[in-house]
Structure 1
Amino acid sequence: MLDTPITRYLQQEGVNFLLLPHNKPARTIQEAAEERGVEPHQMVKSILLRDMGGLHVLACVPGTRQVDPKKVRTLFGCRRMTCADAQDVEEVTGLTIGTVAPIGLRQTLPVVFDLSLSHYQTVNISSGDRMAGIELAMQDLVQLCAPLYGDICR
């Protein structure tokens, strides 16, 4: 079994999940979906954003969509919000870009899901490793990360 902060957290919480190993590391959502045998829209893309005052927010959208930082900024009442750089992502989440999920993070962060994710029964998230993904019930993911919901896609 793959051992990452995300898999450990799911096991600790007693959540059922399916590990979907890759034959090669995925660099894009499309590659990850192909490796896992799922559609890209079933993937949950997790993007770390930060405002000028140091607030970090994890914005989650379907794999085929893009986060609109301006919409996230409005939700949180920030003046400016941008995508965090690779070093910031690693320091805040404990994971590298491309392996972040809304659970198993180094620190507790506000998490916001795009409204469209509420229609999903099952989703795919990163395992914390480029060589595997995780499939789990959307209701379990919501229970674990207690997200806010908003219209946050471009």
Structure 2
Amino acid sequence: MTPACKILKSQKIDYSIHEYEHDPQAKSFGLEAAEKLGLHVNEVFKTLLVTDDKTYYVAVLPVEYQLNLKKVATAVGAKKLHMADPKDAERLTGYLVGGISPVGQKKRLKTVIDVSAQQLTKMYVSGGKRGLDIGLAPQDLAKVLAAQFFDVIDE
């Protein structure tokens, strides 16, 4: 059981576990998850870390989209952001890239979830390791993370 699953269980949040055989050759972890789990790409979300070199933030967005750094900066009240170094992301979250869950990170970071999640009854995020996704209600994810919903994708 990953830290993400333990936290959801301890907070009595309803979630489902979805495992699949991760292909090390896969180019996109998120698209691989959607395909192998038979889910629509709008339901599967990736977790990305961004920084202004002082503070780190988490953005959760549908796997098929690119993150709009300006929109995230506005959402978190930062001037300018860039993608976090993968090694920093792993150190801060305690998870490996490709398996970074927004839930159960070593250090709780300010998190924004793309507004498109609010239209879903269930969204899927990494469960804390490659080949493991968890499905839960977007409102439950926002509650456990104290996250806000913002438009953060590049159209």
- TM-score w.r.t. the length of structure 2 is 0.89
Answer whether contact 2:142 2:148 (CA < 8 A) is retained: no
Look up the match of 2:9: 11
Answer whether contact 1:25 1:130 (CA < 8 A) is retained: no
Q: Deviations over 1:61-95 (max 9, x none)?
A: 11221111122122333232111111100111111
Q: Deviations over 1:16-57 (max 9, x none)?
A: 2111110234742221112212111101111100103x1111
CA 1:137 to 1:77, structure 2 compared with 1: closer, same or farther past 3 Å? Answer: closer
Q: Distance in 1 between matches of 2:117 and 2:132?
A: 21
1:56-75 equivalence runs, <5 A:
56-75=56-75
Letter in structure 2 aligned against 1:96: L
Unaligned runs of 5+ in 2: none
Answer whether contact 2:46 2:61 (CA < 8 A) is retained: yes
Letter in structure 2 aligned against 1:68: N
Q: Distance in 1 between matches of 2:138 and 2:3?
A: 19
Q: Distance in 1 between matches of 2:110 and 2:98?
A: 19
Look up the match of 1:80: 80
Q: Distance in 1 between matches of 2:96 and 2:126?
A: 11
Look up the match of 2:43: 42
Say how many residue pairs are matched.
Answer: 151
Structure 1 segments of 4+ aligned residues over 6 angstroms from their partners = none
Q: Deviations over 1:94-139 (max 9, x none)?
A: 1111112221111111001122221111000101111221111222
- TM-score w.r.t. the length of structure 1 is 0.89
Letter in structure 2 aligned against 1:105: Q
Look up the match of 1:21: 19
Unaligned runs of 5+ in 1: none
Q: Distance in 2 between matches of 1:91 and 1:24?
A: 22
Q: Distance in 2 between matches of 1:75 and 1:8?
A: 29
Q: Distance in 2 between matches of 1:107 and 1:100?
A: 13
* SS of aligned partner of 2:130: coil
Answer whether contact 2:75 2:112 (CA < 8 A) is retained: no
Deviation at 1:153, TM superposition (A): 0.9
Q: Between the two proteins, what is the percent identity of the paired residues? A: 28
